[in-house]
Amino acid sequence: MIMAACGGDKKSTTDSAQTATTPTPANATASQPAPNPGEPAAPISGQTVEVKMLQDDKGNYRFDPAEVNIKSGDGVKFIMVSGGPHNVAFDPAQIPADAKSQLSANMPQQVSELSSPMMMNPNETYTISFGKMPAGKYEYHCTPHLAMGMKATITVQ
């Protein structure tokens, strides 16, 4: 079917465009509620800590700071500085069951389970609320730069 759409006749191109756009909204709608059924997003009720996402002058990819200590109810605002694309991703297998659905609810516009959209340009931001989150350590990483050690930890007290 895809090969037919690439055939070049106008009807195939129109059908291809409809096919490409129809699943996208359906998938986006279906994928957002699935990770967090029944959990409403919890607003930020405390402070918001900023974490920079960057590639430094030595070519190292990192979150700055790499260790953040917050309270339940605080938020973390990730700022893309350099070396993108960057994202914020938690390994679903490493998040305790009692925290996973709330964390998912608190992460808007996920592209996959517990994974933020990619930030491509300097000064793009992504904020996660840690409202209603249980105390514990939440390790996260940048998916494109995981192999280069771009990992960090948020500790909720």
Q: What is the pLDDT of residues 36-47, one digit of tens each?
A: 456 899 999 999
Q: Same domain for 129 and 68?
A: yes
Number of C-beta neighbours around residue 14 at 10 A: 11
Which residues form the domain of 7? Answer: 2-31
What gap in Å lies between CA 27 and CA 123, rounded to an integer? Answer: 28
33 preceded by a cis bond (ω within 30 of 0): no
Residue 118 CA: distances (Å) to CA of 12, 24, 85, 102, 142: 31, 17, 6, 21, 9
Q: Residue 38: what pLDDT?
A: 61
- pTM of this prediction exceeds 0.85: no
Q: Same domain for 54 and 127?
A: yes
Residue 57 lies in a domain: yes
Burial of 145 (0-12, 13-18, 19+ CB in 10 A): buried
What gap in Å lies between CA 66 and CA 138, rounded to an integer? Answer: 12
Residue 19 lies in a domain: yes
Question: Which residues are CB-contacts of 155 (< 8 A; sequence separation ≥ 6)?
Answer: 67, 68, 69, 70, 136, 137, 138
Q: Same domain for 70 and 119?
A: yes
Q: Residue 79: what pLDDT?
A: 98
Q: Same domain for 76 and 144?
A: yes
pLDDT at 12 over 90: no
- Please check whether residue 90 is in contact with residue 114, taking contact to mean a CB–CB distance below 8 angstroms: yes
What gap in Å lies between CA 47 and CA 22, rounded to an integer? Answer: 40
| pLDDT per residue as tens digits for the range 85-140 | 999 999 999 999 889 999 999 999 999 999 999 999 999 999 999 999 999 999 99
pLDDT at 153 over 60: yes
pLDDT at 16 over 80: no
